[in-house]
A = this chain, B = another copy of it.
Amino acid sequence: MTIISKQGKKFRVPDATIHRLPLYLDKLILLQQAGVKEVSSRQLATSLDIKASQLRHDFHYFGGFSKPGRPYLVDLLVPALEEIIGIDVPLPMVIIGAGHLGQAIANYKNFERQGFPVLGIFDVDPRLVGLEIRGIPIRPQSEMESFVRENQVRLAVLTVPVQAVQEVANKLMACGVVGFWNFSPTDIKVPGTVIVRNERLAVGLMCLSFKTKRLGNLELFP
């Protein structure tokens, strides 16, 4: 449930729709690489296991991408979606906490390709400071604030221990960070002008537990 305004007009885009946009883009890029030029809503939707009407409904929030009777043009849709999602302009980020998870994220090359270059990694542990991950040096936590300010970083990945999260987030917000990708299992308190995405891995695991343990008595539809 997010409200955005575009060209003066204000409208609401459901969170559910926003979550699907990257999936659409992903499939479309694959099609583009395969040399496919046109794709209908039905083709694209079934390949993603959703209904075609939902896909058209989603696209409808952002105005038409085609004309009635004609399928979507892949080469036209890809940049349009990239602009909507916002990855047409790179959004540099910093990673706070160079533990295993922080390192794993820093190592994931695709993020850079998708417009999220990692400018810096920070940690309090002096044994980690100085190490490099894909050429990005791990810096001491004490340099975090000046670095973020100087490089005008807007997005931060939080992979620090639970107790430290809120304090780190506060400091970052003071330096201009407006988006957090939070991997600690705790909510952080932020003003309404800051976006937080909580990535609670343990929750996913428990949902899996809930479902697998009930597999025996699961009632299935055809």
Q: How far is the CB of A214 from chain B (nearest CB, A)?
A: 5
Range class of the A interface residue count: 35 or more
Q: How far is the CB of A26 from chain B (nearest CB, A)?
A: 7
The answer to whether residues A5 and B219 also contact, given A49-B187, A205-B181 and a CB cut-off of 8 A, is yes
User: Which chain B positions have C-beta within 8 A of A21?
Assistant: 206, 210
Question: Is the C-beta of A170 less than 8 angstroms from some C-beta in chain B?
Answer: no
Q: Which residue of B lies closest to A5 (CB)?
A: B217
Residues of A with Cβ closer than 8 Å to B?
2-6, 10, 15, 18-19, 21-23, 25-26, 49, 84-87, 89, 91, 99-101, 103-105, 107-108, 110-111, 114-116, 154-155, 178-179, 181, 185, 187, 192-193, 195, 197, 199-215, 217-221
